[in-house]
Structures are given as structure tokens and as C-alpha cells.
Amino acid sequence: MANVKLDGVTKIFEDESGEIVAVDDVNIDIKDGEFLVLVGPSGCGKSTTLRMVAGLEKPTEGTISVDGEAVTHLSPQERNVAMVFQSYALYPHMTVRGNMSFGLEETTDLSDEEIHTRVEDAATMLGIDDLLDRKPDELSGGQQQRVALGRAIVREPDAFLLDEPLANLDAKLRSEMRTELQHLQEDLDTTTIYVTHDQTEAMTMSDRIAVLNDGQLQQIGTPLECYHRPNNQFVAGFIGEPSMNFLPVTLENGRLVGEHFEYPLGEETRANLGDQTDLVLGIRPEDLEILDAASGDHEFPGVVDVVEPMGNENTVHIAFEGQARTESELTATISGMRNVKEAESIGVGIPENAIHIFDGETGESLHNRDLGEVEGDRPLRGAEAA
């Protein structure tokens, strides 16, 4: 177990077209035993960050420390961290037992007996103890991934570094392995940095999420903080599926004026906006209300463009009145039991306690949704801060 700290970590690659700033002045303090998920779109610098912690890349600037000791100058072998990649990279000619024990035999002074015990224990923990004499090509993808995890576990490292370890598995197995990995991490209580581009993995598995974009850390917080209290429009749009709706608006006489609607704001909301008039109104799909007709100040006439039935819920694409249906701007999620038809005229409610407002130029969050009113007197754990 260990605390892992990244202090002003920057990585610049040089190629024939110039410099690529892959990681830009990132500061993250990962607590002892914490499960931190590094998430962001392809190319945002996740893997490079992880590889720097592993010692596979050297930072251009900044320091990485483990339990207060700088490890930036140490080779991967000298750092007590274990990395698991998307490609399991198992030795095909070795059995599962051989794959799991090889690293310990090569790099430690542990006795054969100790190695045997560690391998047996890890295999039992992972439910692969009956596969120890098989070769990798006799295993399913999920089993191979477990072996790769087992190889990391037997090392009893200070930290696990996992780079998209579930990406090669099918959706059902991925979801099972998500839960398994969480339990495993809780049992082992080992500091874990987990890289993924999948926001569902980030939301469901992590103690905290670090959201990266263009090499820069956008936010670090609990999943619910990032979901309900995003620092900016990027985080708001990246976390959550379907994505938050964004409507460009201007502030005019206390109203948000969009192309097809005008939205009056209460005093408290207005007070958060300062002088900025170029804004973006954000509302999550599950917060939109679908009504028979629009009547209140925050309700607007609309027409249903497309309904995507998912069984448990329907995803409904809605255009404002006066807008071509195919240019629908709003996505709502509603119960799968509700019957909404394509081309139907409806009212759409945008409750003020659920709206977010972003600076139209910088993307910074100026106003985030009210949590108290939605959750009543039972605060939403993990999102109270900020």
C-alpha cells in the first residue's frame, strides 16, 4: 500500500512535426488504498501518465513520488508497482502457473514455497485455481485477463497500474469483471490507478475520478462530484450517458435566450453568472420532464423526433417548436413504461433546480444544479463537497 503523488508532471514528445504535449502539468495525490480512475477521450494522455508512474516513460518535468519518496529517476524494476495492460501479454508457451510465478522467480529472492503459496492464493482469489496447469491458448479472454491480474497480484506491489484491462472483453463479461475488480481491490486494499476511456467504468469502479483532456487535468473528485458538480462543460459532457444537453444562450434581462426558447432565471441562479452573457445551458437527459403540453415558465412546446426504446428506459430526442424535427436539440431519458411516439407534440420541462450554466467562452461552470431539493433531507453521498 502506498500514497502515489504526481507533482507538476509534464510529458512532451518530439517528432518530425514538432512537440506534442501529451501530459501538461498534472497534479494528482492518490491516497493509500484508493481506487483512482484516469478517464478521458482517446489521446488525452491517460496511458502516458500511467506509463510515467510505471517508469516506462520519463517525465519532461515534474516529480512522481511513492510514499513521499521521489521515484522519478527509478527504472520500472526499481519501483514496486505492477502494471496490467489491455493486451494480456501472457507467455504462450508457459502454463498459467508459470506465467504467474515467472516474474517472482526472476526478480525476487523468494523461496519456491513462498512463490507457490502466493500463486495459489492469487489464483484462488481470482477463481482460476483449477486452470493453473493450462496454457493461455486454452483460456477464454476473461480467464486470460485474470491471469494477467494474478501476475500483478503475486508481486504484492505498492500500487496496481491498470491500462484499459477490460477493453478486450465482451460487454457482459466486462460488466462482471468490473464488479470483480472492485471487490478484489477492496480485499487487497492496494492503491490502484486505472486508465479507461469508458465513463461507465470510471463512474462505477472508482473512489475518485481524474478527468483528463488534451493532457490537462479537468477535475478530480468522486464520481458523483464529477457528475453533479462538474468544473466545466467538458467534464459535464464526458461524464454521463447519454450526455448532458447543451443549449447555447445569451443572458438578456434575467432570461436565458436561446434560438427557440426563453428561460427565466431566479435571483439565486442569476447571482452566480457575473457579467458573462454568452452562456451555455446544460441539463441532464434524466432531468428533462416530458409533459402533455407546456404551461409553466420553464416548460416549452416540442415535438418528438426519435424514440429509442432500451426496455428499462426510453431515450427520446426532442425538437423545440419551430425547429426542424431532425435538428432536435434535446435528449431525454424516461421510463421504458411510458409511451411516447415519434412526431407527437409534447411539452418539455427544464426544471431550474436541475440546470447547469457554463461560460460560453471558457466552458467553466458558473452554476451547478441544486442537490438538496432533489434528494430531500437525505444528502447524496459523495457529491456534497464543492
For residue 214, state whether it binds ligand ATP (rule: CB under 6 A).
no
| Minimum CB–partner distance for residue 213 and ligand ATP (Å) | 9
Q: Which residues of 84-103 are buried (b: 16+ CB within 10 A; e: fewer)?
A: bbbebebeeeebbbbbbbbe
For ligand ATP, which is the closer residue by CB, 39 or 71?
39
* Among 43, 62, 103, 347, contact with ligand ATP (rule: CB under 6 A): 43
Region near ligand ATP per CB under 6 A, out of 12-20, 107-115, 338-346, 348-356: 12-20
> Could you say which of 4, 34, 48, 71 contacts ligand ATP (CB under 6 A)?
48
Instruction: Compute the least distance from the CB of residue 15 to ligand ATP, in Å.
Output: 5
39 bridge partner residues = 196, 211
Answer yes or no whether residue 45 interacts with ligand ATP by CB under 6 A.
Answer: yes
Which of 42, 75, 253, 326 is the binder for ligand ATP (CB under 6 A)? 42
Considering only residues 20, 56, 167, 306, which one is a binding residue for ligand ATP as defined by CB under 6 A?
Answer: 20
| Interface positions, 226-255, toward ligand ATP (CB under 6 A) | none
SS (H, E, C) the chain: CCCEEEEEEEEEEEECCEEEEEEEEEEEEECCCCEEEEECCCCCCHHHHHHHHHCCCCCCEEEEEECCEECCCCCHHHCCEEEECCCCCCCCCCCHHHHHHHHHHHHCCCCHHHHHHHHHHHHHHHCCHHHCCCCHHHCCHHHHHHHHHHHHHCCCCCEEEEECCCCCCCHHHHHHHHHHHHHHHHHHCCEEEEEECCHHHHHHHCCEEEEEECCEEEEEECHHHHHHCCCEHHHHHHCCCCCCEEEEEEEECCEEECCCCEEECCHHHHHCCCCCCEEEEEECHHHCEEECCCCCCCEEEEEEEEEEECCCEEEEEEEECCCCHHHCCEEEEEECCCCCCCCCEEEEECCHHHCEEEECCCCEEEECCCCHHHHCCCCCCCCCCC
Nearer to ligand ATP, 15 or 106 (CB): 15
44 binds ligand ATP (CB under 6 A): yes
Rounded to a whole number of angstroms, the minimum distance from the CB of residue 50 to ligand ATP is 8
Q: How far is the CB of 40 from ligand ATP (least distance, A)?
A: 6
Region from 13-21, 185-193, 276-284, 299-307 binding ligand ATP, contact rule CB under 6 A: 13-21
Could you give the CA distance from residue 281 to residue 53 in angstroms, rounded to a whole number? 38
- Residue 12 interacting with ligand ATP (CB under 6 A): no
Our CB check for ligand ATP shows the closer of 12 and 340 to be 12
To ligand ATP, the closest distance from the beta carbon of 323 in angstroms equals 35
Using CB under 6 A as the binding rule, whether residue 33 contacts ligand ATP is answered as no
Q: Is 46 in the site for ligand ATP (CB under 6 A)?
A: yes
Q: Which is nearer to ligand ATP, 5 or 51 (CB)?
A: 51
15 binds ligand ATP (CB under 6 A): yes
> For ligand ATP, which is the closer residue by CB, 66 or 195?
195
Q: Which of 116, 134, 135, 197 binds ligand ATP (CB under 6 A)?
A: 197
Binding site for ligand ATP (CB under 6 A): 13, 15, 20, 22, 40, 42-48, 197
